[in-house]
């Protein structure tokens, strides 16, 4: 037996085909290894790009989460700020005087020197002082301690974003300005607390004062409108198409239509909104309501597709059991199938809303990129949204806006991650395997 087998195998080894295969095997294996390494290289490329993307945005954005502040002891001079003249008054002069205390060599009568001195403070500093005094006029005549934001160039300097070694003419602030700032630093007047203004302020021309409040409120209203419209419409359409629609030409047409709508470029939806909602219906420009309406049209196909998948996943036995005990078709769907499909529907909706939150182009076309310094109080007021605010800031020339833009992106990504995490949580918690 054994002999015969070994004889056979020896014969097989001598088989010319086997020989050829064996000889080619290493070449063929090399080819496979090559294919695999291409695959690994492709994955590394994609992951590397994501890493660079996030890395560059985090490394430029984290600066914006702190803001350089200057601590001042301000004597609210009744001669400059008379109580009966509020809210007018020489607030800037009072601040200049408070600064000049630390720089004995500077004569405030020299206007250039005075401007150079106060340029360390943000342009908004006088308004901070004004609001404080207006809300409590008894402060006039007292010395109050006030922490005001530093202006953008000095903020950059404090964060080490201005190279002190570069020749003076290539720098935005000259040596004298640096010396003045360093003196303030020696005096312990400079601090860099958490930049709450990033969330509590609306947009501003000055980077150190610009915040995201207007954009967050605008995005909130737009998403709310989007949800209120697209959620019921999407579920209604999906239930009809999945459970009730007869299989004929018309329902086919609707179905093809929905699939195509999901792939129409977003800028085309912006054109639709501009021509129809604003041009024909006369709805206000820049309003989150119009933005929400547009986003709803874009989100609806996503919700319809997700809802149909969720409805399909409910096993027929549930339907048959309900029908068997005498429920009507509507009672089966609304009483049994829909509640079971709800987790899937909600997951799809949240993912759809997350996409809508990041959508920019249609909002640009309906004018949600306006410069607005107060937060909207209703969905019909002018407002910006998070992504359009990012676009505006990315276009602004001031250096300080680069880190603000990255910080705004981080805020946006944080919202997206949260929404997707909620969706994943819902899916894993409530998804039922039948």
Partner 1 sequence: MTAVPFIILLLAAIVGYAINIQAARAIRSGGDRLHSLEHFHGLFSLLLVVVPALTLVLIWLALQGSIVDGLVMSSLPSGVLDGLGSGQIQLIGAEIRSIAGGRIFGTPENWKLEAADRLLGYRQASGWLLVTVVTLMSLGLIFFARSKVAAEFRARQGVERITLWLMIFCAVVAIFTTVGIVAALTFETLKFFQRVPVTEFLFGLNWEPQIPIREDQIAAEGAFGAVPVFLGTIVIATVALLIAVPVGLFTAIYLNEFSPTSIRNVVKPILEILAGVPTVVYGFFAILVVAPAIRQFGQSIGVEVASNTALAAGGVMGIMLIPFISSFADDALSAVPRSLRDGALALGATRGEMMLNVLFPAAIPGIVGGILLAVSRAIGETMIVVMAAGLIARMTINPLDSVTAVTVQIVTLLIGDTSFDNPKTLAAFALGMMLFIATLVINVFALRIVRKYREIYD
- Rounded to a whole number of angstroms, the minimum distance from the CB of residue 109 to partner 1 is 37
Q: Which is nearer to partner 1, 92 or 403 (CB)?
A: 403
Interface pick for partner 1 out of 274, 318, 323, 340 (rule CB under 8 A): 274
CB atoms within 10 A of CB 185: 15
d(CA 195, CA 201): 10
Of 6-14, 86-94, 116-124, 399-407: span binding partner 1 (CB under 8 A) = 399-407
d(CA 418, CA 423): 9
Interface pick for partner 1 out of 97, 106, 139, 233 (rule CB under 8 A): 233
Please check whether residue 180 is in contact with residue 103, taking contact to mean a CB–CB distance below 8 angstroms.
yes
Q: Using alpha carbons only, how large is the chain's radius of gyration in Å? A: 33
Distance between the two ends of the chain, CA-based, in angstroms? 54
Which residues make Cβ contacts (< 8 Å) with residue 301, sequence separation at least 6? 258, 259, 261, 262
- Rounded to a whole number of angstroms, the minimum distance from the CB of residue 287 to partner 1 is 12
Interface pick for partner 1 out of 12, 46, 101, 421 (rule CB under 8 A): 46
Please check whether residue 212 is in contact with residue 406, taking contact to mean a CB–CB distance below 8 angstroms.
no
d(CA 105, CA 21): 92
d(CA 127, CA 358): 34
Q: Interface with partner 1 includes 353 (CB under 8 A)?
A: no
- Rounded to a whole number of angstroms, the minimum distance from the CB of residue 273 to partner 1 is 9
Q: Interface with partner 1 includes 45 (CB under 8 A)?
A: yes
d(CA 431, CA 434): 10
- Rounded to a whole number of angstroms, the minimum distance from the CB of residue 15 to partner 1 is 14
- Rounded to a whole number of angstroms, the minimum distance from the CB of residue 337 to partner 1 is 14
Of 45-53, 82-90, 110-118, 129-137: span binding partner 1 (CB under 8 A) = 45-53
Q: Interface with partner 1 includes 364 (CB under 8 A)?
A: yes
Please check whether residue 149 is in contact with residue 208, taking contact to mean a CB–CB distance below 8 angstroms.
yes
Interface pick for partner 1 out of 20, 49, 199, 421 (rule CB under 8 A): 49
d(CA 408, CA 424): 24
Residues 365-384 touching partner 1, rule: CB under 8 A, are 365, 369
Of 66-74, 136-144, 154-162, 278-286: span binding partner 1 (CB under 8 A) = 278-286
User: Rounded to whole angstroms, what are the CA distances from 294 to 103, 189, 290, 304, 352?
Assistant: 57, 49, 6, 16, 13
Main-chain phi, psi angles of 372, to 5 degrees: -130, 125
Residues 241-270 touching partner 1, rule: CB under 8 A, are 241, 244-245, 253-254, 256-261, 263-270
Residues 78-97 touching partner 1, rule: CB under 8 A, are none
Q: Which is nearer to partner 1, 177 or 350 (CB)?
A: 350
| Sign of torsion over alpha carbons 182, 187, 192, 198 | negative
CB atoms within 10 A of CB 10: 10
Cis peptide before 156 (omega within 30 of 0): no
Q: Interface with partner 1 includes 43 (CB under 8 A)?
A: yes
Residues 303-342, one symbol each (x = binds partner 1 by CB under 8 A, - = not), give -x-----------------------xxx---x--------
Residues 3-22 touching partner 1, rule: CB under 8 A, are 21
- Rounded to a whole number of angstroms, the minimum distance from the CB of residue 197 to partner 1 is 21
Residues 143-182, one symbol each (x = binds partner 1 by CB under 8 A, - = not), give ----------------------------------------
Residue 166 is classified by DSSP as S
Q: Interface with partner 1 includes 228 (CB under 8 A)?
A: no
Q: Interface with partner 1 includes 281 (CB under 8 A)?
A: yes
């Amino acid at each position: 037996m054994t002999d015969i087998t070994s004889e056979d195998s020896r014969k097989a080894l001598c088989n010319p085909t086997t020989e050829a295969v064996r000889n080619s095997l290493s070449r063929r294996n090399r080819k496979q290894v090559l294919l695999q390494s291409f695959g690994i290289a492709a994955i590394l490329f994609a992951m590397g790009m994501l890493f660079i993307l996030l890395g560059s945005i985090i490394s430029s954005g984290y600066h914006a989460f702190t803001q350089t502040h200057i601590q001042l002891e301000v004597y609210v001079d009744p001669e400059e700020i008379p109580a009966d003249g509020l809210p007018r008054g020489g607030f800037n002069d009072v601040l200049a005087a408070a600064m000049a205390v630390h720089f004995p060599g500077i004569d405030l009568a020299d206007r250039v020197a005075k401007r150079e001195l106060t340029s360390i403070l943000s342009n908004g500093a006088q308004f901070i002082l004004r609001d404080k005094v207006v809300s409590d006029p008894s402060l006039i005549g007292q010395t109050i301690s006030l922490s005001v934001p530093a202006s953008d160039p000095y903020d950059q300097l404090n964060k080490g974003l201005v190279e002190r070694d570069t020749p003076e003419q290539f720098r935005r602030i000259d040596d004298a300005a640096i010396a003045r700032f360093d003196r303030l630093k020696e005096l312990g007047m400079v601090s860099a607390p958490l930049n709450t203004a990033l969330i509590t302020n609306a947009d501003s021309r000055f980077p150190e004062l610009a915040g995201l409040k207007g954009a967050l409120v605008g995005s909130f209203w737009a998403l709310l409108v989007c949800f209120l419209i697209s959620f019921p419409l999407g579920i209604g359409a999906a239930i009809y198409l999945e459970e009730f629609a007869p299989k004929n030409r018309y329902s086919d047409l609707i179905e093809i239509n929905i699939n195509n709508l999901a792939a129409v470029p977003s800028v085309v939806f912006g054109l639709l909104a501009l021509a129809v909602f604003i041009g024909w219906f006369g709805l206000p420009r820049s309003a989150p309501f119009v933005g929400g309406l547009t986003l709803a049209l874009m989100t609806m196909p996503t919700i319809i597709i997700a809802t149909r998948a969720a409805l399909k996943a409910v096993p027929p036995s549930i339907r048959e059991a309900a029908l068997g005990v005498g429920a009507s078709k509507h009672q089966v769907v609304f009483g049994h199938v829909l509640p079971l499909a709800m987790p899937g529907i909600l997951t799809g909706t949240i993912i759809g809303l997350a996409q809508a939150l990041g959508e920019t182009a249609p909002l640009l076309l309906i004018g949600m990129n306006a410069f607005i310094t107060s937060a909207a109080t209703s969905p019909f007021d002018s407002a910006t949204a998070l992504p359009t605010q990012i676009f505006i800031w990315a276009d602004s020339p001031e250096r300080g806006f680069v880190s603000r833009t990255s910080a705004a992106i981080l805020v946006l990504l944080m919202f997206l991650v949260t929404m997707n995490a909620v969706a994943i949580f819902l899916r894993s918690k409530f998804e039922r395997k039948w």
